[in-house]
Amino acid sequence: MEDLFTLWNNLSHTTHFNSIYIGLASQEKIRSWSYGEVKTPETINYRTFKPEHQGLFCARTFGP
């Protein structure tokens, strides 16, 4: 429990900012972030309750 308090005290120190800049990402930047492609609209197999391969919930596409 003592470790938890120590961790919380270390995280509670915030850095003060005078300004922050927010901008739109370019198409190339967004494409570089992408990892996989959804090829079928299926989500979950109704018999096995597991994600369909290359579907919306496929772990290979979006990660576990």
Tell the residue number behind the tokens 């494409």, with chain if given. 31
pLDDT tens for 52-62 read 988 888 888 77
pLDDT tens for 10-48 read 666 667 778 888 999 999 998 888 777 888 889 999 999
DSSP 26-51: PHHHHHHH------S---B-TTT--B
Tell the residue number behind the tokens 């190339």, with chain if given. 28
* pTM summary value: 0.43
